[in-house]
Chain A
Amino acid sequence: MNSETVADDSPEVVVIGSGLGGLCAAYELSKKGIRVLVLERHNLPGGFSTSFVRGRFEFETSLHELGGASAYEYLKNDDFQLEFKKVPEAYRLLLTENGTDFLAPFGIKEFSDAIIKAVPGSEGPVKDFMKVCEESFNAFTYLGDNSPPDPRLLFKKYGNFIRTGAAVTDEVADAVKLPQAARDLIYPYWCYLGVATDKVSFSLWASMIYSYLNFGAYIPKGRSHAFSVSFARAITEAGGEIRYNAEVSKLNTAEGRVNGVTLNSGETINCPHIVSNVSPHHVFGNLIDPAQVPSKAYKMVNARKPGFSFFVVFLGLDADRETLGLTDYSYFIAPHMDTTRLVESLKNRHDPNPMQATICLNAADESASPQGTTILSITAGTDPKAWEDIDPWDYPRAKEEFADLLIRQFEKATGTEIRSHIEEIETASPETFSRYTAAWDGTVYGYEPAPWDGIIPRVLADNKERFFKGLQFCGGNASRTYGFGSSMLSGKTAAEKTIAEMNS
């Protein structure tokens, strides 16, 4: 056996974790000729952005839809060669207590018109609400392009953004007198943020729903695993290296700056710049020697609330969509749209009436599964705490029960029969996410975006909350908050900041 080692391959930047944030950071850095080493504990790139195969079905692990223009346009890059399919409609909402059945189209005008038609007399408030959302979105775009911003212009042009910037969504709905019936139809997207409308930062909420509704949403061919593989390929082609099965067990620091990492295998890699795709909780709580961590860093992480998690039922069905009567792509099913009560129900795995967001991939991409079959994935929010008391031997049963409940709820609300068509079934719980991504406590999103922890405070405080030189964060916990697009693009920001640091 011959072994050779390549000359000077010590990395200039180490990226810990190859979720979309880490991959994007590594891609941006390696494109600039910087030697990057990505260390990933799993044997696949992508973290949540991946897929898995059961029988003749390839399931999407996490992506419901890639909403908004910025992430989509970034990924249209020639380096990636991705193919996209357009999601046909925003959502179909089924509220079982009052019989609501509402099909929400994409397009601000189309969406507003549909609401106004369904809720007579709501025209003024609906238009005002959407307008404030638009202004928030535009203000973020302006802030993104102009750093530092011109305060006078900001106040003059984006007054509503400033006045609602510290508010929660319900407060703005109250201010424009949005009727309850209209809120019921507009609020379902809350589940993609995971925070009730009386707690979520309005500006974040507003820019999300505006970007989704205005631009629409897409899914990639080959599932979101195609994103990860494309990044991985582009990184290695640009001279970067990705190592799988390489869990970082220590982040080494001295005198307030990072100087490398140690792997589970015992190997130490020296490096003055680190981009962490893993959460500040994990970095400060587990990876850095406690003697080196300032108490301020602990206070920072303890103040922030890791968000909620999901329970997913992946179904491969042995009949086509028409036979099954699955007409739509995205079904939001809930007893009502009182988001505070819905959040409360996440704590209880046995709540008979949770909210579910269910995706039928074939409605956007007919070829998502073999002819004559359909893929349906049912997702419900769940609090990781609801899983901590389960005896490991009863865990399969607990998953079965939750899956059974969600399938029944879906069939009842849509009037379809899918149970007898189940050819493949898989479920994922917070335990599953914890295992595959090591996400803190099995959460699927980063820190909850309360107004004080929304994008604006995160961006403004960013430089003050850096406890080690040479260390940048990216991913769902970073300044742009979570979701596929934000997590990914935060990698670009982290790369830019790292380059600035390298040059300073």
Chain B
Amino acid sequence: MKKDTLKVTIRGPLRDLWRFISHISERRRIFRHSSAERPGEKHSIRLRESLHPEVQYLLVDKIQAENDSTNSYTLIPDTSQPGSISIAAFSAGQYLSVEVQLESGLRISRPYSISNSPEEARRDNAYVITIKTGKNSFIPEEMVKNWEVGTALKVSDPWGQFYHNPLRDTEHLVFIAGGSGITPFRSMVSDILSNQENISIVLVQGAAVPEELLFSDFFLNMEQSNPGRFKWIPVLSETTDTEGIIKHTVLTGFINGVILADAMNSRESSLFICGPQAMHSYIDKELVKANLKTKMIRRENYGIPGSPSGKEPVKITVKMAGSTHIISADRDETVLVALERGGLNPPSRCRTGSCGWCRGSLLKGKTRYDKEPEGLRSADRNAGYFHPCAAKPESNLVVDIPANPGINTDK
């Protein structure tokens, strides 16, 4: 049988055998002749560290009022911190997670979209974030109350998938913003109009009253200097009187199917929607009603609704980094918020279920999602892992939550 007689040699049987034996000692010879220097990473590490620093130490450099309840903050590197020289690069549409310590001593972080464009940010070595405070926004109010020029902040690396991609998106883009959801579009409009010649944009901006149409001067200006490429459609839900505030035609009501059809203009469109959960739901219905087909819809959700209901609270037993804590929670707030109120400083970024940063393990009890979080992995779902930022307690819980690694630690 051939099977038994096959005899392959490379350099002749004896030399092959010798080579086999010596390739072990060759290893030792190679080791002996190699460098005794301590090795250091050379290649992708530099890119990784500049794109994704573990924390950015920034200073408030300028505060500009956009309206009564909204300010834009210019943030520059705090050069008194070692290694803090330039801001990390980002794509237009991404956000930063900003950490603060409240007067009560609680440490929390909140996401804010970057409103200047990468070009502007790079030129000025500064990010701009725009924050709305006021009613129903307990945390932002508390957060920015004491901010002044020179205030030092700890901020995450730029994060999020809410950005334009020419390989995926159509040449006609429709941007839909509600309230402070306009912030990423300030960056995207500026970026795309100056760098992607073949792309046209219609921006539909919803607000209650004219004063809340943030960046209106900027968009007016862009419309005038980019005829045919950029159209701005402001839509106001509470008033029709824009005299002396907005020098532009303004629609009234909610952003409906007729407005969207006009914005899409019978062209295949990629939609970008950013705003509160209620607006997302409303627009989804309007798209169906008006029978509008889109190439794709990319969303940024500005928070999962939920506030204390006053119902009988539940008890959450939290295992975190080797110790156990017991906190009380409201059935209508998210587990993440309960953890924050309990002083546990849990990790979070997007706060809307998609990034997975808050991922934990539900060991006992029941939670509910108003809407299944988009980012939850199927194997995680099956094995009892959950996203606390989107989950609300239905019963007493036992959960295992990782300690906060990033911007909330003092090193």
Contact = CB atoms under 8 A, between A and B. Distances in A.
Interface of A: 1-6, 9, 41, 43-44, 50-55, 58, 127-128, 131-132, 159-160, 162-167, 171-172, 175-176, 222-223, 225-226, 228-230, 232-233, 241, 243-247, 264-266, 281, 284-285, 290, 293, 295-296, 298-303, 309, 318, 384-385, 387-388, 390, 392-393, 395-396, 400, 403-404, 407, 419, 422-426, 429-431, 433-435, 440-442, 451-453, 456-457, 460-461
B378 to A, nearest CB: 5
A166 B23 contact: yes
A318 B169 CA distance: 13
A350 B108 CA distance: 44
B20 A166 contact: yes
A425 B377 contact: no
B374 A384 contact: no
A424 B8 CA distance: 51
B403 A302 contact: no
B36 A295 contact: yes
Contacts of A451: 23
B4 to A, nearest CB: 10
Interface in B370-411: 374-380, 382-383, 385, 402-406, 409, 411
Contacts of B385: 229
Interface in B13-44: 13, 16-17, 19-20, 22-24, 26-28, 30-44
A452 B38 contact: no
Given A2-B325, A435-B48, A461-B24, A302 B39 contact: yes
Interface residues of B, number: 84
Contacts of A296: 31
Interface in B308-343: 321-327, 342-343
B44 A3 contact: no
B165 interface: yes
A387 B10 CA distance: 39
B186 interface: no
Given A176-B8, A431-B51, A461-B27, A400 B166 contact: yes
B2 to A, nearest CB: 8
A53 B52 contact: no
List of 10 A-B pairs having minimum Cβ-Cβ separation, nearest first: A442-B44, A245-B405, A303-B34, A222-B379, A166-B23, A163-B16, A384-B43, A244-B402, A226-B379, A392-B89
Given A5-B323, A223-B377, A175 B167 contact: no
A303 B29 CA distance: 10
Given A128-B8, A225-B379, A229-B383, A430 B43 contact: yes
B165 to A, nearest CB: 6
Contact of A423 (B28, B45, B46, B168): B168
Contacts of B379: 51, 222-223, 225-226, 228-230
A423 B17 contact: no
B326 A2 contact: yes
30 contacts: A1-B326, A3-B323, A4-B324, A43-B357, A52-B377, A53-B356, A53-B376, A163-B9, A163-B16, A164-B10, A225-B378, A226-B379, A232-B383, A241-B322, A243-B403, A245-B347, A265-B321, A265-B409, A266-B411, A299-B32, A300-B34, A301-B39, A302-B36, A388-B47, A392-B88, A392-B89, A400-B165, A423-B296, A431-B51, A435-B48
Nearest to A313: B167
Contact of A396 (B43, B91, B296, B357): B91
B359 interface: yes
B6 interface: yes
